[in-house]
Structure 1
Amino acid sequence: MTYTFAAPWVFVLLPLPFVVFWFAPPHKEKVQATRIPFFRHVAAATGLEPKSGSSVLGRTWLQSIIATLVWVLLVTALARPERLADPIVVEKSARDVVLALDISGSMDQRDFTSEDGPPKQRLAAVKDVLRDFIAARQGDRMALIIFGTRAFVQAPFTEDLNSLNGLLEQTEVGMAGPNTALGDAIGLGIRLFDSSEVDQRLMIVLSDGADTSSRMTPVNASAIAADKNVVIYTIGVGDPNATGEDRVDLQALQDIAQTTGGQYFFADDEAALTQTYQQIDEQNPRVVETQSYRPRESLTHIPLLIVIAVILLSSAGFHVAQHRRSVR
């Protein structure tokens, strides 16, 4: 902890009273007097020689010390003394991440095997893995998009990852409709990045079906994402050998990742999904901007309080001295 002054140049004013004392002309003012015809006789009787001039009030050494101390304290207050605390380092995320999660009807299938029990619902297994992935990215800004027949923003960009996990828990299969709008989800993610001020932008898209209801095709959406420097990692879950909307379109997910410079993954069980997110985390380590600042506490009130105390004490002492003289 250190001490400093916000305006140290104010100390150039310290010699100002002495400059005024030595170079400024003395203060003069006219006063009324009574003229008596026998003034010279009175002067002669007292042995004094009358002369014209002015009366300069004297100052005791104590008054001089008090005046000097008050002036120094006032200049010190004008210089704004401050106490600097220890530096505080703040890490700000230099990358924004969008999670796009498929919650179409097929995500209700219970075909995700786990190490500790019977097969899980696809969405439940994804939630379990995503919960840990989100919690491990403290300091990053993340957003959550859910999509089915339509795509919606479940959570805008936030650094409050606990709230993000809470909104993830509230997500249920079919909330956005039974179909899959993969292209619209990517387009919505691109619009989210329009408000982002960072250069590194990452989108993770998880889907278990083929695009059937998008107004924008995944190919066009990924091309726009590439133009806006958005890197997309795609994760396919589900059964690639199924028919209709239940068949995951692995080729489309591969093309999306390749177009944007990202990477494609396929996970057919919970362990593979966990490994997939670990690989994404390793390939995209946390990127931060470090900012440092030192909290400042103003101490201007201290010299001002001392000035008030000095003036009050000196005034009280002056009145006591006058009272003693009057008693004598």
Structure 2
Amino acid sequence: MLTFAHLWCFAFLPLPWLLRLALPAQQRHEVSVRVPFGSRLRKVLGQPGISPIKRTDWEGAILNSLIWLCVLTAVARPQWVEPPVVKEVPTRDLLLLVDLSGSMDQEDFQNSAGKKVARLDAVKEVLSEFLEKRKGDRVGLVVFGDAAYLQTPFTTDLKLALDLLAECEVGMAGPRTAFGDAIGLGVGLFDEDSDRSKTIIALTDGNDTKSHLPPVEAARVAAQRDITIYTVAIGDPTTVGEDKLDEQGLKDVASEAGGKYFFAADREHLAGIYDELNKIETNQIQTVSHRPRTDVYYLPLLAGLCLSILNKAWLARRGRRNHSSHQRHHHIRVNPVTGEMEVAA
């Protein structure tokens, strides 16, 4: 679509005609050669005088009008507007905390095919389905064991997040659980001045055995920065020792950070938890569009230049043709008998 950045420039279209009316051209009559028998020459030639070489008025008006229109069109800055380019703007920063401690290797979950798989494999499978629905979010991934590590920084490339999640293995971050340190690392990853919603989803099957920062204290810091934490407990609540499931601690973390606690006994429960999270954390997609503009002012400018060159070339050719016709006039001589001027053949 063609548009003009300065459409008001076309208001100057009648300006040359207004100037011509207000400031008419000065008429000057200059004599090139004075001869005492000029009137006799004109009488013999039968011509009132030498007329200047000129075109008819309508030809000049049309050419000059077209040139002026081309100049005004270029000054108005014509632009070709391209189809809109739509971009999705993230409305939420979603951080996943995934426990990679040794107990995540227990095969007490069933996958979608009904086969017994490790807890981490079930988490990967359900997380993949969950992330595919998070279009419009920025997703990050933190894994933790003896310490917490950033696996994926915040990104809108969900495929990248899924690929890096698939590379996670049990024990790669250590056998124990530093849940509090993982929350602390996650809190530091969020932009404090961002208007996006900030959410953490933590998946763990054990109590905190290695953190320097207690999980509840880390949750309080998160709440102060408007970060919501949802905790998902994975494991057997009857387990004792270091691998026991600290349900109360996970409930306290979720409560401190304004989130909710969930317990996943098997893959079906885990999938149901993500369905509920999808309802709680409604996925709002904000889009912005931009229509690229390309300046094409050079086209009318080029057209005006071509018209001006053609105009000058036409005038030069017309002038040479008229000059040749004047040179073909008969010569004037004085009759020796009568003393009168006459045109010689």
The within-5 A match list for 1:158-307 is 158-194=155-191, 197-307=194-304
Question: 2:124 matched to which residue of 1?
Answer: 127
Question: 2:48 matched to which residue of 1?
Answer: none
The one-letter amino acid paired with 1:41 is: P
Question: 1:11 matched to which residue of 2?
Answer: 10
1 CA distance for matches of 2:249 and 2:210?
Answer: 15
DSSP 3-state at the match of 2:8: helix
1 CA distance for matches of 2:80 and 2:91?
Answer: 31
Q: Is the 8 A contact 2:136 2:286 kept in 1?
A: no
Given the superposition, is the C-alpha separation of residues 27 and 263 from structure 1 closer, same or farther in structure 2, using an over 3 Å criterion? farther
The one-letter amino acid paired with 1:105 is: G
1 CA distance for matches of 2:107 and 2:35?
Answer: 126
Q: Is the 8 A contact 2:105 2:120 kept in 1?
A: yes
Question: 1:41 matched to which residue of 2?
Answer: 36
Given the superposition, is the C-alpha separation of residues 134 and 245 from structure 1 closer, same or farther in structure 2, using an over 3 Å criterion? same
Are positions 1:141 and 2:174 aligned together?
A: no
Report the Cα offset of residue 150 of structure 1. 1.0
2 CA distance for matches of 1:268 and 1:152?
Answer: 26
1 CA distance for matches of 2:286 and 2:16?
Answer: 50
Given the superposition, is the C-alpha separation of residues 24 and 324 from structure 1 closer, same or farther in structure 2, using an over 3 Å criterion? closer
DSSP 3-state at the match of 1:180: coil
Report the Cα offset of residue 195 of structure 1. 5.8
Structure 1 residue runs of 5 or longer lacking an equivalent are 49-55
Are positions 1:153 and 2:147 aligned together?
A: no
The one-letter amino acid paired with 2:162 is: N
Given the superposition, is the C-alpha separation of residues 232 and 79 from structure 1 closer, same or farther in structure 2, using an over 3 Å criterion? same
Q: Is the 8 A contact 1:239 1:246 kept in 2?
A: no
The one-letter amino acid paired with 1:203 is: I
The one-letter amino acid paired with 2:211 is: S
Report the Cα offset of residue 77 of structure 1. 1.2
2 CA distance for matches of 1:196 and 1:270?
Answer: 37
The one-letter amino acid paired with 2:14 is: P
The one-letter amino acid paired with 2:146 is: T
Q: Map Cα deviations across residues 105-152 of structure 1 (whole Å, 9 max, x no partner).
A: 221122213453432111111111111111121221111111111111
Instruction: Please tell me whether Structure 1 or Structure 2 has the larger radius of gyration of its CA atoms.
Output: 2
Given the superposition, is the C-alpha separation of residues 260 and 216 from structure 1 closer, same or farther in structure 2, using an over 3 Å criterion? same
The one-letter amino acid paired with 2:303 is: I
Q: Map Cα deviations across residues 195-222 of structure 1 (whole Å, 9 max, x no partner).
A: 6622411110101111111121111110
Are positions 1:109 and 2:103 aligned together?
A: no
Q: Map Cα deviations across residues 70-93 of structure 1 (whole Å, 9 max, x no partner).
A: 111111111112233455554322
Question: What is the root-mean-square deviation in Å for CA atoms of aligned residues?
Answer: 3.0
Report the Cα offset of residue 304 of structure 1. 2.4
Q: Map Cα deviations across residues 143-172 of structure 1 (whole Å, 9 max, x no partner).
A: 111111111111111111011111111111
Q: Is the 8 A contact 1:207 1:237 kept in 2?
A: yes
The one-letter amino acid paired with 1:144 is: L
Report the Cα offset of residue 174 of structure 1. 1.6
Q: Is the 8 A contact 1:205 1:235 kept in 2?
A: yes
The one-letter amino acid paired with 1:135 is: E
Report the Cα offset of residue 253 of structure 1. 0.8
The one-letter amino acid paired with 2:276 is: Q
Q: Is the 8 A contact 1:95 1:288 kept in 2?
A: no
DSSP 3-state at the match of 1:273: helix
Given the superposition, is the C-alpha separation of residues 221 and 27 from structure 1 closer, same or farther in structure 2, using an over 3 Å criterion? farther
Are positions 1:118 and 2:115 aligned together?
A: yes
2 CA distance for matches of 1:115 and 1:44?
Answer: 117
The one-letter amino acid paired with 1:271 is: E
The one-letter amino acid paired with 1:183 is: G
Q: Map Cα deviations across residues 52-106 of structure 1 (whole Å, 9 max, x no partner).
A: xxxx996643233212211111111111122334555543221111111111122
Structure 2 residue runs of 5 or longer lacking an equivalent are 44-51, 326-345
Report the Cα offset of residue 232 of structure 1. 0.7
The one-letter amino acid paired with 2:71 is: L
Question: 2:334 matched to which residue of 1?
Answer: none
2 CA distance for matches of 1:322 and 1:105?
Answer: 100
The one-letter amino acid paired with 2:96 is: L
DSSP 3-state at the match of 1:41: coil
Report the Cα offset of residue 311 of structure 1. 3.0
Given the superposition, is the C-alpha separation of residues 302 and 241 from structure 1 closer, same or farther in structure 2, using an over 3 Å criterion? same
